[in-house]
Amino acid sequence: MAATRRLKFVEPMKASTTAPPPHNGEWLYEVKFDGFRVLTIKNGQKVELWSRNHKRLDERFPEVVKAVGKLSVKNCILDGEVCALNDQGRSSFQLLQNIGETNHPVVYYIFDLLFEGTHDLRQLPLMDRKTRLEAILLNAVDPIRPSTFFTEHPREVLDKMRSAGAEGAIAKFKASPYETGHRSKAWVKIKFHKGQEFVIAGYTLPKKSRQYFGALILGYYRKNKLIFAGRVGTGFNEKTLKALYQKLKPLVSDVPLVEEVREPSGRWRPKGWKASDSRWVKPKLVAQIQFTEWTADGILRHPSFQGLREDKNPKDVVREA
C-alpha cells in the first residue's frame, strides 16, 4: 500500500484593506481577532503550528497542539487565530504577549479548512469548506473553538460586534476559493478601532530617569520603500523596554533605512527632539500599534505600543485604509 502523502506548510491567504463590500447577501462576517494567525498541520499524531511567516509555534502553544492531536480526522491543515481572552472574554494581543505570566485562557479560533485527509479543498467555495470544518470540529475540546460567522443582517451584526468591543470584523465572499499567499479582495478587513502593524526603523535615546530607549521610530512599506510614520514612546514598562532594547542592539545601522525622514510640524514634534538623538536599525522587527488618527502630513497621533508581531513579515506591512 502506498504511503499517505505528508501535508506541508502553505502560505496563508491574507485579507485586503479595501473598502467594505456591499451588503448584498454574498458575504459572511466574522470577528477580527486580536491574536496570532496560526496555520496547523496534522499528520497522524504529529501536529505542527506555524505562523504566517513560517515560524514554528508548537512550544509556545502546547495546549493547542494537544487539542488538535485529539481531532478525529487523521490528516488536515487548519487556519485560525490563537488568542488570549481578557476578563470580558475579548481577545487581547497584549495579554497574549505575556501569557506565561497570567491566568487568562488561550483559545484557538479556527475559521478555515485547507486539506482534509489528502484532499486539497482550497478550490472549493468558502461555504463548502466551512461545512466540512464544522463536521471536523464537532467533538473538539478546549482550547479549540470554531470561529462563529454571520450571513444575514450584516449592518446589525457589525453594530453588535462594535458594541461588544471587538477590534473589527472580516468580511469574506461566500463563493471564494482559498488563495494561498495572496492578499485577496475576497477577504476584507473592517476595523472598528485604529491600529495596525508598523516596522521598527530605529529608536531615540532615553532621557531623564528612563532606561534603554525613549521612543521607537516607525515605518511602513510603499512600493518597496520604508516610509516614516512617526514615533511611539508610550505602552512600555521596564521589562518591555529592556527586552526590546536587547532585540534592537544587534540590528543597529549607520544610516536610516526609512524614506521621507522629517521632523513633523510643531504640534507633533517631541519636545527637545534632535535627529542626532536617533539610532537606526535594520527593518526586521514589527510592532503592533494603537493610535487615534493619521495627521495630515502622515504621522501617527497618540500612538501606543501593544507588542511585537513575531508572526508578521516586515515586507508585508503597509499603511492600511
- As a whole number of angstroms, the distance between CA 176 and CA 184 comes to 10
- What gap in Å lies between CA 80 and CA 36, rounded to an integer? 8
Q: Position 205: which residue type?
A: L
- 32, 130, 189, 312: the active-site residue: 32
| SS3 assignment, position 241 | helix
Which residue in 110, 33, 30 sits closest to 73, CA to CA?
Answer: 110
Cell of 80: 485560525
Residue 292: which residues within 8 A CB-CB, separation 6 or more?
194, 301, 302
Q: Are 126 and 176 in contact (CB under 8 A)?
A: yes
Known catalytic membership, residue 32: yes
Please state, in angstroms and rounded to a whole number, the distance separating the CA atoms of residues 94 and 289: 11
* Catalytic residue positions, numbered: 32
